Amino acid sequence: MLSSNKDQQVAPGVFVSPEHPSMFLGRRLFLRYAGFTVAASGLLMACSSTETVQVTPTIVDLGSGDTGILNYAYALEQLEAAFYTMVIATPYANMSADEKTILTEIRDHEIIHREFFKAALGSAAIIGLTPNFTAINFSDRASVLGAAKTFEDLGVGAYNGAGKLIKSADYLTLAGKIVSVEARHAAIIRDLLAPRTAAFAGDDVIDATGLDKAYTPTQVLPLAQPFVTNKISGANLPQ
Partner 1 sequence: MNLFNIFSDIEKLDGDVAERVEYYTRRNLFKLSRKATAAVATPAILAASLNDAYAQASTVADVLNFALTLEYLEDEFYRTGLATSGLVVAGDQAIIAQISKHEAAHVALLKGALGTAAIAKPTFRFGNAFSTYQVFLATAQTFEDVGVRAYKGQASALLGQAVLTRALQIHSVEARHAAIVRRLRGLKSWISDPAEMPAAAYAGEDNTTQAGVVLTGLPNVTGIDAARSREAFDEILTKQAVLAIAGAYL
CA–CA separation, 127 and 2 (whole Å): 17
Which residue lies nearer to partner 1 by CB, 160 or 233? 160
CA–CA separation, 12 and 72 (whole Å): 14
Which residue lies nearer to partner 1 by CB, 35 or 128? 128
Which residue lies nearer to partner 1 by CB, 146 or 161? 161
The answer to whether 232 and 75 have CB atoms below 8 angstroms apart is: yes
| Number of neighbouring beta carbons within 10 Å of residue 126 | 26
Least separation, in Å, of the C-beta of 210 and partner 1?
A: 3
CA–CA separation, 125 and 78 (whole Å): 12
Least separation, in Å, of the C-beta of 138 and partner 1?
A: 21
- Residues in Cβ contact with 20 at an 8 Å cutoff, skipping those fewer than 6 apart: 40, 57
Task: Identify any residues that bridge with 233 across adjacent strands, giving them in sequence order.
Answer: 61
Assign 135 to helix, strand or coil. coil
Least separation, in Å, of the C-beta of 167 and partner 1?
A: 8
Least separation, in Å, of the C-beta of 108 and partner 1?
A: 4
Least separation, in Å, of the C-beta of 146 and partner 1?
A: 18
Q: Which residues bind partner 1 (CB under 8 A)?
A: 102, 105, 108-109, 111-113, 115-116, 118-120, 156, 159-161, 163-164, 166-167, 169-170, 172-174, 176-188, 191, 196-198, 200-202, 206, 208-214
Which residue lies nearer to partner 1 by CB, 47 or 174? 174
Which residue lies nearer to partner 1 by CB, 11 or 201? 201
The answer to whether 69 and 159 have CB atoms below 8 angstroms apart is: no
Which residue lies nearer to partner 1 by CB, 29 or 175? 175
- Residues in Cβ contact with 50 at an 8 Å cutoff, skipping those fewer than 6 apart: none
Least separation, in Å, of the C-beta of 137 and partner 1?
A: 25
The answer to whether 3 and 16 have CB atoms below 8 angstroms apart is: no
